[in-house]
Amino acid sequence: YCNLQLGTPTSSDDCGGTYSITPPDVTEFRCEASGDVEWTSTDNCGDVSSCQQSIAVKNTPPTITCPDPDTMEWCDCSDTPEGYESCLGTATATDVCGSDPSVGEPSIVRNVDACLKKATVTGTWTAIDECDATSQCDQVLTIVDSPPEITCPASVEIDCDESTLPANTGVAVASDLCERTSDPEKRDEITGQGDTCPEEYTITRTWYTKDDCNPEVSCTQTIEVKNTPPSITCPANIIDPVEYCNLQLG
């Protein structure tokens, strides 16, 4: 409608009199419509002539723009699934004829994981122009709970008389973006321990942790337990030569 150009009619008077042209009323064509309009020409004697012009008007629906898809940690959004929709953005709309389309509140669809910390939230907005033409768009918000991270202490080699407890060999450290992980626990597997030298073996120590929504994460530390050779101290050196039969090594 805003681009409607009717053109300019022509009119003449055989007697050379003056005349005026009355344009048609096209307000009924403001929204999508088609039909005939009438132009009139009236001379100075009050005589009237008319002609008809056929026109067709279309209405282009508003253009609506939604926020881009987004991914967010649950703790950066809301503690409850009911609050996840508050982290959606805002849609905007424009109209080719410059009117201001209305954009209401979005309709919400939530798909929430059983642990309640993972979800997909879809917001659908609708824009309506003055002719009741509508357009829609969606934004998809993905709520995630990233798994914790775990860092093992360095692998070590210790003597058999040293403690293999974590206080001596080191403790793993776990972290979580939403600070929900538990302290790491350990599982030990002992290999290489023989009957002739049970003091020497290898501990493969697996440290692990998990949160409410993700599988266990782990890392591995190796502890090599080595047997310490026996200590020996010799007797004093025999400096002065003695008869073999009198040799006492000590």
pLDDT at 23 (0 to 100)? 77
**What DSSP letter does each residue of 86-135 carry, written as one string?**
GG----EEE-TTS---EE-PPEEEEEE-TTSS-EEEEEEEEEE-TT--EE
Reported as a single tens digit per residue, the pLDDT across 103-137 is: 999 999 999 999 899 999 999 999 999 888 999 99
What whole-number distance in Å separates Cα of residue 87 and Cα of residue 141?
Answer: 8
pLDDT at 28 (0 to 100)? 74
CB 185 within 8 A of CB 170: no
What whole-number distance in Å separates Cα of residue 223 and Cα of residue 4?
Answer: 85
State the DSSP H helix or E strand holding residue 169, giving kind and residue range, or none if neither.
helix 166-169
Q: Per-residue confidence of the chain (250 residues) as pLDDT tens digits?
A: 666 777 778 777 777 666 677 777 777 777 777 778 888 888 888 888 888 888 888 888 999 999 999 999 999 999 899 999 999 999 999 998 878 899 999 999 999 999 899 999 999 999 999 888 999 999 999 999 999 999 999 999 999 999 999 999 999 999 988 877 778 999 999 999 888 888 899 999 999 998 888 899 999 999 999 988 888 888 877 677 766 666 676 5
What whole-number distance in Å separates Cα of residue 157 and Cα of residue 142?
Answer: 46
Considering only CA atoms, which of 213, 209, 69 is closest in space to residue 144? 213
What whole-number distance in Å separates Cα of residue 160 and Cα of residue 201?
Answer: 9
- The alpha-carbon radius of gyration of the chain (Å, integer) is 45
CB 24 within 8 A of CB 41: no
Q: Is 127 exposed, middle or buried (0-12, 13-18, 19+ CB in 10 A)?
A: buried
pLDDT at 78 (0 to 100)? 93
CB 150 within 8 A of CB 166: no
pLDDT at 1 (0 to 100)? 63
State the DSSP H helix or E strand holding residue 223, giving kind and residue range, or none if neither.
strand 217-226
Reported as a single tens digit per residue, the pLDDT across 30-59 is: 777 777 888 888 888 888 888 888 888 888
- Taking the CA of residue 130 as centre, how many other CA atoms within 13 Å lie in the half-sphere pointing to its CB? 11
What whole-number distance in Å separates Cα of residue 104 and Cα of residue 126?
Answer: 7
pTM: 0.71
pLDDT at 218 (0 to 100)? 96
